[in-house]
Amino acid sequence: MELAFSDEDLAFREEVRTFVADNLPADIAESVRRGRAIDKLDIQRWQRILFDRGWAAPAWPVEYGGPGWDATKRYIFDEVMSEFDTPETIPFGTLMVGPLIYTFGNQAQKDRFLPKILTGEEWWCQGYSEPGSGSDLASLQTKAVRDGEHYVVNGTKTWNSSAHVADWVFCLVRTSNEGKQQEGISFLLIDMTTPGIDPKPIISIDGAHHLNMTYYTDVRVPVENRIGEENKGWTYAKFLLGHERNSIAEVGLSKQRVRRLRKIAGEEQFGGGSLADDATYAGRIANVEISLTALEYLNLRFLAEEAAGRPIGPEVSMLKIKGTEIRQKLTELTIEALGYYAMPFEPEQLTDRWNEPPIGPDHAAAQMPQYLFSRAATIYGGSNEIQRNIIAKMVLGL
Ligand SMILES: Cc1cc2nc3c(=O)[nH]c(=O)nc-3n(C[C@H](O)[C@H](O)[C@H](O)COP(=O)(O)OP(=O)(O)OC[C@H]3O[C@@H](n4cnc5c(N)ncnc54)[C@H](O)[C@@H]3O)c2cc1C
């Protein structure tokens, strides 16, 4: 890849490096390095810094406030972000609903929503899954009934990441029971402060509150908040799932984790030296790194296709499968590197509430919660089994 960079690309890389080195707040970088939960205000602070530089949404076109970068520049930007301890991007705004709004929304919706997604001022969450509708999403039952210039929404959504801190939710609702299931779904943007919305925490295996079950009781949503046509929501949802899977490879994040793993292995003692010196263990890290490099090139191939004006098809599912498997493998290797110090499970250590001395080395506390939560990566965004079905049917034609 390096060989293909033009002088302009290399200069751009230095520009991004210098910017991040000068502007990433030290306290945020320290929290990321230690694996602490990064709260909404800190993520908004970093987003605002990127926004002021014009870099809040690398993939957005200039006319909507993006930098209008080509695939190479986007790649370089992500690459540099992973070199530093920058916080993970929350995907729902800039990566998901933003592109949906500028692709399918009307002018009023673009004017109303896009600027605040860019600044990070308004946070979004995704209301797709329901207790009986996950993989089989088209069977969703949350109902929206037209009442004059409003829809009245009733139902239950589940696994809603960040719903308890989100300002808006993009939601799939049933507006018709006629015809095929997919043909009766509409796409609504709903203000989370609307009376009748009640998110209840789901505490995940890492002991943290990321997820929610959200109840909707007689929630009145203005018709003007519907994206596109009534009963065409499935088309928009599929577009958005494509975006979700494209970003879900998270090559940058895995590179950050490889760096951290190498550092931990370098500090852990083993057989008279460090664990990083052990040929077997070093070989296992190298193995994952090779898979990560292969994934990166696959990702670049998709970006190049997109840049050439050829829409990415169902083969994007490969990114999701490999990306999440690699992430899980990295957490497994990290847990192994820590040995006994991986065992004490004290998520409180990652919060300001913890007053005791750290258990084990500084880098240990975050690893078990991350290992545990990463089990979910092969489930969300469409489970890996479903991705394999898509590849079998739509790519291989089996
Ligand atoms: C951490 C986390 C965060 C999430 N965040 C959100 C969010 O913000 N918003 C949102 O709307 N949803 C969210 N989800 C929900 C997620 O999209 C669903 O969990 C996922 O689509 C799977 O659906 P399900 O849980 O109902 O499992 P099911 O669909 O019931 O599947 C159960 C198992 O059966 C397998 N399976 C199902 N059908 C098939 C088939 N046809 N062939 C082979 N195997 C099959 C699945 O792979 C899985 O292993 C989140 C989930 C998690 C775990």
Structure tokens of 9?
């690309």
Whether residue 387 sits in one domain with residue 259: yes
183 & 68 share domain: no
Establish whether residue 119 lines the binding site of ligand 1, counting it when its CB lies within 6 angstroms of any ligand atom.
no
Distance (angstroms) between ligand 1 centre and the Cα of 381 equals 8
Q: What is the DSSP letter of 357?
A: P
Instruction: Give me the amino acid identity at 368.
Output: M
Residues 254 and 176 both lie in one domain: no
d(C-alpha 227, C-alpha 317), whole Å: 25
Of the residues 122, 244, 250, 296, only one is catalytic, namely 244
- Nearest-5° angle of CA 167, CA 88, CA 138? 60
Q: Judge if 171 and 200 occupy the same domain.
A: yes
Ligand 1 lined by 213 (C-beta under 6 Å): no
DSSP 393: I
Tell me, yes or no, whether 15 and 151 share the same domain.
no
CA of 317 to the centre of ligand 1 (A): 15
* pLDDT score at 279: 96
Is 229 a residue of the active site? no
- More confident call, 44 vs 4: 44
Q: Do 57 and 9 share a domain, yes or no?
A: yes
Q: Is 170 in the pocket of ligand 1 (CB under 6 A)?
A: no
pLDDT value at residue 25: 97
How many Cβ atoms are within 10 Å of 40's Cβ, its own excluded?
A: 13
- Is there an atom of ligand 1 within 6 Å of 126 CB? yes
SS3 label, residue 281: helix
Instruction: Give residue 70's pLDDT band: very low, low, confident or very high (50, 70, 90).
Output: confident
CA end-to-end distance (rounded Å), the chain: 34
- Last residue of one domain, picked from the residues 89, 112, 147: 89
Contact yes or no for 239/313 (Cβ under 8 A):
no
Give the position, in ligand 1's atom list, of the atom nearest the Cα of 136: 29
Average pLDDT over residues 121-143: 97
Beta bridge partners of 203: 209
Integer Cα distance of 116 and 99 in angstroms: 13
123 ligand 1 Cβ < 6 A? no
- Are 173 and 236 within 8 A, CB to CB? no
Domain with residue 359: its CATH number is 1.20.140.10
End residue of a domain, out of 89, 105, 137:
89
Work out the average pLDDT over 112-137. Answer: 96
Q: Give the number of the atom of ligand 1 that is nearest the alpha carbon of residue 161.
A: 8
Is the pLDDT score of 268 beyond 50?
yes
**Domain check: are 329 and 364 in the same one?**
yes
Distances in Å between the Cα of 335 and the Cα atoms of 174, 275, 276 are 44, 13, 14
End residue of a domain, out of 167, 196, 231: 231
Residue ranges making up the domain that contains 314? 248-395
Q: Following DSSP, what letter does each residue of 379-392 receive, concatenated? A: TTTS-HHHHHHHII
- On whether residue 119 sits in a domain, the answer given is no
The CATH number for 47's domain is 1.10.540.10
Q: In this structure, what CATH number is given to the domain that contains residue 214?
A: 2.40.110.10
pLDDT in tens, 348-375: 777 777 788 877 887 888 899 999 999 9
Distance of CA 320 to the CA centre of its chain: 11
Work out how many domains the chain is built from and give that number: 3
Provide the 3-class DSSP secondary structure of residue 312.
coil
- Cα of 4 vs centre of ligand 1, distance in Å, is 39
Could you tell me if 277 and 389 lie in one domain? yes
Confidence of residue 171 (pLDDT cuts 50, 70, 90): very high
Average the pLDDT over 249-259 and give the result: 88
Record the pTM.
0.93
Q: Does residue 376 line the site of ligand 1, with CB under 6 A?
A: yes
What DSSP state is assigned to residue 65?
T
Q: What is the mean pLDDT of residues 320-332?
A: 96
State if residue 324 touches ligand 1 by the CB under 6 angstroms criterion.
Answer: no
**Are residues 253 and 391 part of one domain?**
yes
- Which one-letter amino acid corresponds to residue 155? G
Tokens representing 121 are 């001022």
Same domain, 75 and 12: yes
pLDDT in tens, 292-310: 999 999 988 887 787 788 8
Q: Give a yes or no: residue 108 inside a domain.
A: no
Q: Where are the alpha helices (DSSP H) in the chain?
A: 7-23, 26-34, 40-53, 71-83, 98-104, 107-119, 233-247, 251-267, 279-307, 317-338, 367-373, 384-390
> Which amino acid would we find at residue 150?
H
Closest-CA residue, ligand 1 atom 29, reads 135
Nearest ligand 1 atom to alpha carbon 129: 11
Percent share of the chain, pLDDT over 90: 72
Rounded Cα distance between 181 and 226, Å, is 19
Of 96, 126, 135, which is best to mutate to test ligand 1, by the most ligand atoms within 8 angstroms of its C-beta?
A: 135
Q: Where in 80-208 does DSSP place strands (E)? A: 124-127, 143-147, 150-157, 168-174, 185-191, 197-203
